[in-house]
Amino acid sequence: AQKVTQAQTEISVVEKEDVTLDCVYETRDTTYYLFWYKQPPSGELVFLIRRNSFDEQNEISGRYSWNFQKSTSSFNFTITASQVVDSAVYFCALSSNNAGNMLTFGGGTRLMVKP
Amino acid sequence: SQTIHQWPATLVQPVGSPLSLECTVEGTSNPNLYWYRQAAGRGLQLLFYSVGIGQISSEVPQNLSASRPQDRQFILSSKKLLLSDSGFYLCAWSGFPPLANYGYTFGSGTRLTVV
């Protein structure tokens, strides 16, 4: 069975601080995909990134960066110089072909960025 | 380009009343379709998924059912709503194989309140 754990249920930071959202996953599959989604107060899920299990290269997109470490089964997400607009719930998710191609979500981390 | 439509956006229904939520996808064929539910302050739970017309898999036993009468149409139903059915319902689609595109695309969601 697959499992995604986001241990931080809520994080509060002051604007311009850096913040890291943790994600730990479990799967028996050797080929899998990891995702991060952002859910603003309006509710829709906004895709942020997909990472393949065979590509451990870290990725940076503007103020966002992701650290994929297979050795620790982690896929952490860092926001640099946070802004109020970053306030949202962030979900980490896992999918694999052997698990019916379904997305398994973590419980989410609510990030509050205060001005 | 592919788009996903989900309606209604909000719904208030009395206990014991029926439910029908509809989701349609445009710009693709033979998508995998999914219904997720998010209870207030909670994570996302997969309810149903479908890999083709008339093919429905249920992930959790519940008061809900799903149908796929057409290739790009996915319907979530209930004959008698319970208070516990309240939540935010999200429809999603993915290509086949599901990870051929960047991942899963979600609709804008339906916020259901059972009173």
DSSP labels, A64-97 = EEEEEEGGGTEEEEEESS--GGG-EEEEEEEE-G
Is A43's CB within 8 Å of B111's CB?
Answer: yes
Testing the interface with B: which of A51, A52, A103 to mutate, by most B Cβ within 10 A?
A103
Query: Does the pLDDT of residue B97 top 60, yes or no?
Result: no
**Chain A CA closest to residue B6:** A44
Is-contact B25 B106, C-beta < 8 A? no
CA atoms within 13 A on the CB side of A39: 25
Consecutive H or E run containing B37: strand B32-38
Q: Residue A71 phi/psi, 5° resolution?
A: -60, -30
Mean pLDDT of B88-92: 95
What are the residues whose beta carbons fall under 8 Å from the beta carbon of B79, sequence distance 6 or more? B18
Distance of residue B14 Cα from the nearest chain A Cα, in angstroms: 23
B94 forms beta bridges with B32, B104
Nearest to B97 among A50, A97, A106 (CB): A97
* CB within 8 Å of chain B, chain A residues 21-60: 33, 35, 37, 43-45, 47, 50
pLDDT band at residue B105 using 50, 70 and 90 as cut-offs: confident
Mean pLDDT by 10 residues, chain A (115 residues): 93 97 94 92 89 84 93 96 97 81 90 97
Testing the interface with B: which of A25, A45, A53 to mutate, by most B Cβ within 10 A?
A45
| Encoded tokens for B109 | 């969601």
**Chain A CA closest to residue B87:** A43
According to the model, what pLDDT value does residue B100 have? 47
Is-contact B43 A106, C-beta < 8 A? yes
Cα distance between residue A31 and residue B63, in whole Å: 34
pLDDT band at residue B99 using 50, 70 and 90 as cut-offs: low
pLDDT in tens, A22-42: 999 999 988 888 999 999 988
Q: Which chain A residues are Cβ-neighbours of B88 within 8 angstroms?
A: 43
Nearest 10 degrees: CA dihedral of A3, A90, A113, A9?
A: -30
Is-contact B50 B66, C-beta < 8 A? yes
A25 forms beta bridges with A4
Is-contact B107 B22, C-beta < 8 A? no
